[in-house]
């Protein structure tokens, strides 16, 4: 197996079945993976007619993250995450801050600026 093959196999993937919240496999969670998961979650919420107040509850109770660090963070913060005023956008901001590489947003900005 080449280094490239190994790197690809370690990237998290998203599984969608439309009956439960989208799942993210164990592996590296990139900004693109998290964005795709967000898009799939929003489609799931819409299709299943899940009220905004229940979106985070749906994520927390569905065990949709397979990465141990994220599962542990959700378990430790479960009470806070299940508060009625804790919104999906707040969850996304927390996930980006805690589980993406530092300065991921600056890396993307540099790529866009340097693109020719």
**What pLDDT score does 37 carry?**
95
CA torsion through residues 95, 107, 2, 116, sign:
positive
**What pLDDT score does 68 carry?**
93
* CA distances, 6 to each of 10, 11, 31, 65, 80 (Å): 6, 9, 19, 21, 37
**What pLDDT score does 114 carry?**
74
Mean pLDDT in consecutive groups of 10 residues from the start of the chain, 116 residues: 44 84 90 93 96 96 92 96 96 94 61 69
**What pLDDT score does 102 carry?**
74
Dist CA 38 CA 71 (whole Å): 17
**What pLDDT score does 48 carry?**
95
């Amino acid at each position: 197996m080449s280094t490239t093959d190994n790197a690809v196999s370690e990237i998290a993937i998203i599984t969608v079945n439309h009956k439960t919240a989208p799942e993210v496999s164990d592996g590296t969670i990139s900004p693109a993976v998290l964005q795709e998961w967000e898009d799939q979650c929003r489609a799931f919420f819409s299709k299943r007619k899940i009220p905004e107040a229940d979106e985070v509850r749906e994520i927390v109770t569905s065990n949709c993250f397979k990465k141990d660090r994220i599962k542990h963070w959700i378990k430790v913060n479960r009470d806070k995450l299940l508060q009625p005023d804790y919104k999906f956008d707040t969850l996304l901001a927390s996930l980006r801050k805690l589980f993406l590489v530092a300065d991921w947003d600056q890396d993307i900005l540099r790529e866009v600026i340097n693109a020719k």
